[in-house]
A = this chain, B = another copy of it.
Amino acid sequence: MISGLVSEKKQKKKNLLLAAALELFLSKGSDSTSIDDIVRKAGVAKGTFYLYFHDRGEILKAIMAERSDYLLRMASEKAELQNPSSATERLLFIVEALVDEFARHPVLLGLMYRNLTWGILLSSETVKDVGILGERGQDALCPSADFDKMAFVIMELVTSVCYSSIILGEPAGIEVMKPFLLSSIRRLLVDEDKIRSMGQNR
């Protein structure tokens, strides 16, 4: 456990930097946060920043990865607590939790919007076991081949709609857009074959 403590100590300054950067990115946006700001807030020397990160983009990426991972886990756990009756239900609960979190923390949303592409996160191992679409296979929400694409499309949709709605108020407030978003997702998950047959009717 000593080595654990050592490496913990070794990472202390790095963690100070990460914490400071997160706080500043959230309050001022990443574009207007200088490395000077970060080290001043972290209480470390300028050079220490470059000991751990190559540039501002790198610390942003690190923070985005950590935040989105955390966000997804948190939403997943919240959904589980509501005993979803189906995979669809579960997904909708997850989305709802995400929307609520974004509504509570618009700055976080602003930060994640277009600094984050879910593509990378969703294909990462850590998130695979969380899952947002339930198990692949029999009970899956969509054909296995489309699994990744669907997860990805849904997450991009959620972020885009939240951003526009919560931050810009366009085309309507989040209280109006949320139900619409949820029903949109429900529609997305409808079995494709059934859609095609229904499409014929029009």
Contact = CB atoms under 8 A, between A and B. Distances in A.
Please indicate which of the listed interface residues A146, A152, A172, A183 has the most CB atoms of chain B within 10 Å of its own CB.
A152
Contacts of A120: 168, 170
A156 B192 CA distance: 21
B198 A194 contact: yes
A70 interface: no
Contacts of A118: 164
A11 interface: no
B188 A198 contact: no
Given A119-B171, A170-B119, A198-B194, A156 B160 contact: yes
Contact of A152 (B87, B146, B171, B189): B171
B153 A157 contact: yes
Contact of A119 (B164, B181, B192): B164
A149 interface: yes
Interface in A77-121: 86-88, 113-114, 117-120
Contact of A157 (B156, B163, B183): B156
- Tallying the copies of this chain within the complex gives 4
Contacts of A194: 198
A155 B180 CA distance: 15
A144 interface: no
A97 B181 CA distance: 25
Interface in A132-183: 146, 148-150, 152-153, 156-157, 159-161, 163-164, 168, 170-172, 176-177, 180-181, 183
Interface of A: 86-88, 113-114, 117-120, 122-123, 146, 148-150, 152-153, 156-157, 159-161, 163-164, 168, 170-172, 176-177, 180-181, 183-184, 186-192, 194-196, 198-199, 202
28 contacts: A88-B199, A88-B202, A113-B114, A114-B114, A117-B163, A119-B170, A119-B171, A120-B168, A120-B170, A123-B171, A149-B180, A150-B184, A152-B170, A153-B184, A156-B160, A156-B161, A156-B164, A157-B160, A183-B195, A184-B188, A186-B196, A186-B199, A187-B188, A187-B190, A187-B192, A187-B195, A188-B188, A191-B198
